[in-house]
Amino acid sequence: MLTISETRRRYAAGETTPTALLESLHQEIIARDPAIGAYLSHDLDSALAEARACDLSLPLGGVPIGIKDNIAVYHQPATCGSRYLEHFVAPYDATVIRKLRAAGAIPFGRLNQDEFAMGSSTENSALGKTCNPHDPTRIPGGSSGGSAAAVAAKLAIATLGSDTGGSIRQPASHCGVVGLKPSYGRVSRYGLVAFASSLDQIGPITHCVDDAALLLQAMAGHDPADSTSLNAPVPNFLTEINAGVRGKKLGIPKEYFGEGIDPEVRSLVEKAIAALAAQGAEIVDISLPHTSYAVATYYVIATAEASSNLSRFDGVRYGKRASQVADVLDLYQKSREQGFGAEVKRRIILGTYVLSSGYYDAYYSRAQKVRALIRQDFQNAFSQVDAILSPVSPAPARKIGAAVTDPLLDYLSDIYTIAANLAGICAISVPCGNVTSEEHTQLPVGLQILGPPLAEASLLQIAKAAESATLA
């Protein structure tokens, strides 16, 4: 496992160089990734050019970072896992890419995802499936499945993903790596292809909590190009990361440990909670009473925003353009019919319906009111505790193809993650053990830690303590 810190140490010791490391990663991707499918593409020549000119004195000097394929990197593909953008090349750097470059990092590789980030398994990519490195018959999670699988397979030192309803944390849990969703507004969304603009957030997927803190440090901060970016001070996330959990109050929501959770998943999460208690944390029972409404609320708001955001894909300005059309309306219809996959079409239809005349008040307006109640649940909880602990997913990674005829199976798998996006809070997944499948493979399980808005420094402290307990 080559972490960012270990990579930097090897550079400093003269044990390797950024160009040598990139050449090695390239060879590993060529040899092993065809069986996993984490990468859609990687441009070695561009990365080597950056590596030759990199400044090793910078915080991320010479460290290659894999990028989910919905985050713009200048002159690199940005397909979003869709036939619609199969040949699209980004004309600029996203703000997070610009900031990573300023810290010395080298963007390297485009990582597979569910089409337009709509999915929980990476099976919805139109450009190929991604397998879980721990068991290739199972999903890696989604929508940032390629990002998580690349780290878990040691085909990337660290990666970026995006999280709209758990799309960083859930694949991190399924693949046994660390996945951080920052608070809404902590990290700029400029250059992220929008799915649901009030929910989307970019974050890191890494081998360890320290690496997640390093990447967040580089990416966080106000961006005038993003109107939702918060103009809030960015603390040093590493200063107190080893401070431990003694004296911290950690809440256990009863709604996250009820029916539907796999008994082995529950046992591993409870062991992780006990380990934090043994380190001095105070465990407090709490309630998030509107949890049962979160899935329905999310799938009204997210699909409504997706319907609006994806209206820009019309066959005229960029992306897929159908041929042999009768008129402009026919161009719109055929381009979207040919370019979008089944899940994207499903969500556009749902979103258009809930926004339509006669249904707006019954669905979208009501969902926004319930969202306010969910946010209030978290505000009430954080008046009592410093953070909340829960599973990331009700079960380990399922078999590939198990939800083909039942999309609701995947929708419900996000029950523990989507509320954090609705509330705009920060959250992280940290590995807490493995369950053994019927085929005797080891399937990772993640502990989810939820913190108040802009409380990433405290969240990372708790995550580091949980990680230390698991590794002990």
Determine whether 167 is an active site residue.
yes
Determine whether 143 is an active site residue.
yes
User: Which is catalytic among the residues 120, 167, 393, 413?
Assistant: 167
Question: What is each CA distance from 147 to 40, 67, 130, 161, 359, in whole angstroms?
Answer: 11, 7, 10, 6, 37
Question: What backbone torsions phi and psi does residue 220 show, to the nearest 5 degrees?
Answer: -70, 155
User: Which is catalytic among the residues 68, 99, 334, 464?
Assistant: 68
Joined tokens for residue 433: 């053990």
Tell me the C-alpha distance between 450 and 388, whole Å: 5
Question: What is each CA distance from 452 to 17, 126, 128, 466, in whole angstroms?
Answer: 40, 36, 37, 18
Q: Are 397 and 132 in contact (CB under 8 A)?
A: yes
Tell me the C-alpha distance between 25 and 31, whole Å: 10
User: Which is catalytic among the residues 125, 143, 144, 147?
Assistant: 143
Q: Are 110 and 67 in contact (CB under 8 A)?
A: yes
- Total residue count of the chain as it appears in this document: 472
Tell me the C-alpha distance between 93 and 184, whole Å: 20
Q: Closest Cα partner for 459 from 255, 235, 270? A: 235
Catalytic positions, written as ranges: 68, 143, 167
